[in-house]
A and B are shown apart, each in its own frame.
Chain A
Amino acid sequence: MRTYLNIGVVFSLLIFPWWITALITIVAFFIIDRFYEGMFYGILLDALYGTSFGIYGFAYVFTAAFLGVFFIVQIIKTKVMW
């Protein structure tokens, strides 16, 4: 599953709209145990498509977002049983 989701995110990152990539990554954060790769995909999104100006002057939107989501998901996973 981990491999399939990684392939999915990489392809989505290059071909699909960014929100699909974000969605797949968030799903992967929930499904996969400690999906560290997700944070690297955030860095990659910023590096491939971002500029030094970024959005409203912040250039690391996806790195920060995926890092935040990772920690939130980890907290949710410890609190909720499934």
Chain B
Amino acid sequence: MIYLKRSNAAVKKSRSKTIAISILLVFLFGLHFFFPKFYPSIFYPITSLVWKIEKSTVDWFSHMGGIVRSKYSLVEENRRLEMEIQTNKTSLLLLDILKNENLDLKLILGRKSSEKMVLGVILASPPTSPYDTAIIDVGSDDGIVVGDKVFADGDVLIGEIAEVYGNQSKIFFLSTPGKKTMVSFINSKIKTEAIGRGGGNFRANIPAGAGVIAGDIVVSADIDPKNMGIVESVDTDSADSFSSILFRMPINIYSLHFVEIQTSQ
């Protein structure tokens, strides 16, 4: 009996194509694995352009939206903001006095700080970034180095510089899931390790009955404490000797436009 031999040329071709693509993908992943800065250094100059165009377009639309808003709502908002300014003025005066006193004390103790602040515009941040990270438009050309502290609204410590490129840097927020940071609770003076939970949220464990309540201020546990968050809730289990504290940053990392980077260079 004679059988016709089946042609498997197409199958072979498809298989070799799959193998070639797989090798290429492994190579592309290897590039990222061994040289983590390879892709960002190539793509950031291009993506920055896209992010800047997107930002200016969004700004233009929100500006136009503001123009067409009704006069009545603007008057109402103005009145509300004026009242808010009046209330904040008193608190700010007290804050200035305390800040100056703090600086004077540090000078007396020889802990003079020589850092300067660099303003950075956020190009991409959560939720575009799936990780708790943001890309800013300042980099090594502006004196930024890895490990520099990042602030929002002047005095709120939000993260650190993770990677630096010529004109861009990558920030990781302290609330990155799993990230551990030493914090201190202002009222109870307790220091503990806070674990990031993403989106500006943290969890910390402290001994039960330590006196931490919702609304307490959380600061970084170092010589120059910076505001890090406000306690949202305290969960105490009667069977447990520890309380679980949930706190969040006082700013919304999803709506940040600018950050300040404290650099020593």
Contacts and interface: CB of A to CB of B under 8 A. Distances in A.
A63 B54 CA distance: 26
B177 A47 contact: no
B25 interface: yes
Contacts of B44: 48
Contact of B179 (A39, A47, A53, A61): A53
A53 to B, nearest CB: 6
Contact of A44 (B43, B133, B177): B43
A49 B36 contact: no
B130 A45 contact: yes
A40 B28 contact: yes
Interface in A55-77: 55-57, 60-63
B178 A15 contact: no
Nearest to A13: B128
Nearest to A57: B178
Interface residues of B, number: 34
A33 to B, nearest CB: 10
B178 A55 contact: yes
B176 A15 contact: no
B258 interface: no
A19 B133 contact: no
A56 to B, nearest CB: 4
A47 B130 contact: no
Interface string A27-54: 0000000101001100111111111111
Contacts of B133: 49-51
A36 B17 CA distance: 11
B40 interface: yes
Interface residues of A, number: 30
B178 A49 contact: no
A49 B136 CA distance: 12
A55 B176 contact: yes
Given A34-B18, A44-B43, A17 B127 contact: yes
A60 B30 CA distance: 12
A36 B170 contact: no
B25 A18 contact: no
A62 to B, nearest CB: 7
A11 B127 CA distance: 14
Interface string B29-47: 1001100101110011001
A18 B18 CA distance: 28
Contact of B178 (A43, A52, A56): A56
A50 B170 CA distance: 9
11 contacts: A17-B127, A18-B129, A18-B130, A19-B130, A43-B25, A46-B32, A49-B128, A50-B130, A51-B162, A51-B172, A53-B162
